[in-house]
Amino acid sequence: MGVCMGMEANVRPMREEDAEQVGELEKRCFSEPWSNHLLLSGLASPFDKYFVYEEKGSVLGYGVIRVLAGEGEIQRIAVLPQHRRGGIGRKLMEAMLLFARKAGVCAIALEVRESNESARNLYVSYGFRPEAVRKGYYHNPAEDAVIMWNRRL
């Protein structure tokens, strides 16, 4: 219980001063990273909610969910490579799903690289199921996106 409690305390809404660390995280985790400008403009969006996982002043992971017209879309979830498989992604997912439920969302979608087995397994564990494929959606390297939905929030 102590470990879980401590981890939950580390997930919080993203602030402007987190943008630089989140921008670095983007560069380490994605072949097509979002710019700091895009991150900051997203913070001001009434539709998007950004969360960070912070430990001792360092942002180790972050997630973004968009809520629009009663549906949600997980736009980003990223954890620094050296901190993966330690529960940070789960804590970020839980924060985003709780936010979505409180906002009255009944279904959430996301896109994931077809080859990203660890992410797909995480999403399945939260009730997401593959429903479609977007051919050639990703670049660097080129790859299909699997569109997954959780329609039982």
Could you report the per-residue pLDDT of 45-80, keeping only the tens digit for each? Answer: 999 999 999 998 999 999 999 999 889 999 999 999
Mean pLDDT of 95-99: 95
**Is the predicted pLDDT of residue 14 greater than 50, yes or no?**
yes
Q: What is the pLDDT of residue 132?
A: 94
Could you report the per-residue pLDDT of 118-146, keeping only the tens digit for each? Answer: 899 999 999 999 999 999 888 878 889 99
Token pair recorded at residue 26: 């983007």
Mapped to the 3 state alphabet, what secondary structure does the chain carry? Answer: CHHHHHHHHCEEECCHHHHHHHHHHHHHHCCCCCCHHHHHHHHCCCCEEEEEEEECCEEEEEEEEEEECCEEEEEEEEECHHHCCCCHHHHHHHHHHHHHHHCCCCEEEEEEECCCHHHHHHHHHCCCEEEEEEEEEECCCCEEEEEEEECCC
**Residue from 35, 25, 140 nearest 82 by CA:** 25
CATH number among 3.40.630.30, 3.30.70.3340, 3.40.50.970, 3.90.180.10, domain 2-109: 3.40.630.30
Indicate which residues carry an active-site annotation. Answer: 111, 123
Contact 93, 126 (CB under 8 A): yes
**Residue from 52, 41, 46, 40 nearest 13 by CA:** 52
